[in-house]
Every structure is written in C-alpha cells, then in structure tokens.
Amino acid sequence: MKLFSKKSTKKPTRLFFATDLHGSERTYRKFINAGKFYEANVIVMGGDIQGKLLIPIIKEANGGYRATLQGRVEHMSTQEELTALTGRLDILGFYHQVMEDDEFRTLFADPKAVDKLFHEKARQKLVSWVDLAEERLKGTGIKCFVTGGNDDEWDVLSAIKREGAQSLIACENEMVMVDEDHSMISVGLSTPTPWKTPREVSEEELGKMIEEMVAKVPDMNKAIFNFHDPPKDSTLDTCPMLDWTKDPPQQISQGGQPIMYGAGSSSVRAAIEKYKPMLGLHGHIHESQSVARIGRTTCINPGSEYGEGILRGCLVNFVDGEIQGYQMTSG
C-alpha cells in the first residue's frame, strides 16, 4: 500500500474548451482571444461552427433596405442602420447578402441556387476564421484545435483544413497530441435528432467510428475524448423531450411542465466506461452545462449561448494523466 506518491514536476497543461458557436462572429473572436486571456496552452472548439440561416437584405427603390429577421420585417433608411443590422446578424451567426429585389426573386425561386449561396457564405466565413486564428495566435505557442458537429456540412467543414496552417488544426477523425504527453481524438457526428441535421448516424455507426478512433490512442490514461455528442444520461445531455411527429418538433409536457430527459449517446457513454480516458469534451445540448464523473473520466459540457454573443467555456488543468482542476467560464 502506497502511503506517499511522488508529485509530478511537470508544469500542468491548461486547456480552454468551448463548443456550438453556430457561426457567431463575436463568440468566435472571444474564443480565439481566450487562449491569451485565460493563459491557456491549448484551445479546443468542439463542433457546430457553421451558421444556420442566410438572410437576404433587399435594396429598395427609395435607397433604403429591408430584411426579414425572426419573422419581423425590418426597414433601414441609412448606412448606419444597415451596419447595425449586419452586426446583429453576425452575433446570431446568420449569413447575409445585399441584393436587388429582382435578384432576390430570381434567387429564391431556385432552391439549388439558394443552397449554393448559403454554402459559399458558410465557407467564406470559415476561411476568414482560419485567417483570424493564424493572425491572432501567431508566435503565441497556443494550439487551436477545431472539429465539426452534427450541424456542420462536410463540404463547408473542408474550408478549415488549410495546408501550412501554423495555429489552427482541423482535428476531426484525427488523433492529435495536445502536449508532449496527452492525446486527443475527435468525433463530430451525432445520433439522430428531431431536426434532421446534416451529420447524423445511428448509435451503431457512431460506436464503430469511435472504436476506429480509439485504436489510434497511444495511452488511454492520458487521453481526451472530444466527442460532440455527450454521454447518455450524464447530466451533460438533459433537455426537453420533443414530439418528432410535429413540424417543427414541439415540447412534450406533463402536468404543465416539460418532460426532461437525457438526449445523449449510449455509444459515447459505453466508450467512456470501457476505455476510461482522462477527459471527455462534449457539446450538442446547449442548455445542459454540466461536469460529471463517469468512472475516472471527467466529462464536460460548457453549454452555449452563442446567440447572445456570450462565450461559455471551461478551463481544465492536467498533468501526467490527472485532472488538476477545472472552472466554467462565461463572458
């Protein structure tokens, strides 16, 4: 029986984790700056980086503009008002395009053309985000790892893979070393949702993908599982139960109260229980900010408030396969 254990003389690695930005410019800029602000060696973005909507801004004959935002038509008569609107759209993660009225009518009569423009805007945004990371993190020594989530489309995600990038590393389906000792594997897909998002697979398929990634881990005691889907029934996945037969899906209530349940993945939980990594980084369920222990593994979902321009995150310190401490952040 050990009465004393030798403490590591190594300096702990400090990792900052955030997830589910959904195209929000303000929140992403806060993420890139978080490394310096929190004195982190590593920053990790856990998926769902693509925006969800494209908002057309129509030029009107009187020189003004109009746009429909969240069901309400807004009119802008000055350049300052237009700038204020595009700023709000950037916070919300909505792409936008200024166009003439006849251009708008022609475009939105062709769903394929709309889809093409949306993808172009989404890719342009991610290219600009890689540029920003390379500029802001140059010479800092901070590593930035980014993976996709279930809301991110494969062709859009390819924009973050840049040959020769020094700071931002696209890490999905890769084993990467976050420092000299600790490895990280990343899986961005999720199990089926009521929203039928671009990258969903069955529990069985997700389990197979995880097993393929696990085979690349050199030392499970010093491993990080960066899986977008949280483990089932872990408190990281608690959300209202929805009726999938309705369009859009609606909350199911009982006694006037929404029924809450664990919407996470049983495959993710099974992998954590089986392999016992040091740390689990998760997202997907925005409202379920939590930290949970599954066996020896510390599992974290920092939650998301991207639409408010708020960056939720978590700082984690670790050394030699042991978590030294963690702290949720918001700002």
> Can you identify the CATH homologous superfamily of domain 13-50+121-330?
Metallo-dependent phosphatases (3.60.21.10)
Q: What is the pLDDT of residue 7?
A: 63
- What is this structure's pTM? 0.95
The pLDDT tens digits of the residues spanning 127-143 come to 999 999 999 999 999 99
Residue 200 reports pLDDT greater than 50:
yes
Cis peptide before 248 (omega within 30 of 0): yes
Name the nearest CA neighbour of 281 among 203, 200, 178, 207: 178
**Residue 213 contacts residue 230 (beta carbons within 8 Å):** no
SS3 99: strand
The pLDDT tens digits of the residues spanning 135-170 come to 999 999 999 999 999 999 999 999 999 999 999 999
SS3 305: strand
Residue 5 reports pLDDT greater than 80:
no
Question: Which residues, in sequence order, are bridge partners of residue 54?
Answer: 95
- pLDDT band of residue 186 (cuts 50, 70, 90) is very high
**Residue 303 contacts residue 18 (beta carbons within 8 Å):** no
**Residue 293 contacts residue 273 (beta carbons within 8 Å):** no
Name the nearest CA neighbour of 240 among 204, 201, 193, 198: 193
Residues of the chain with CATH 3.60.21.10: 13-50+121-330
268-286: average pLDDT? 98
Whole-number Å distance between alpha carbons of 23 and 66: 22
Backbone angles phi, psi at 285, to 5 degrees: -100, 100
- Per-chain mean pLDDT for the chain: 96
Whole-number Å distance between alpha carbons of 285 and 230: 8
180-186: average pLDDT? 98
Whole-number Å distance between alpha carbons of 173 and 168: 15
Query: 94 versus 6: which is more confidently predicted?
Result: 94
Which position has the token pair 């809450």?
260
Backbone angles phi, psi at 318, to 5 degrees: -150, 155
Angstrom CA distances, 60 to 100, 101, 325, stand at 7, 7, 56
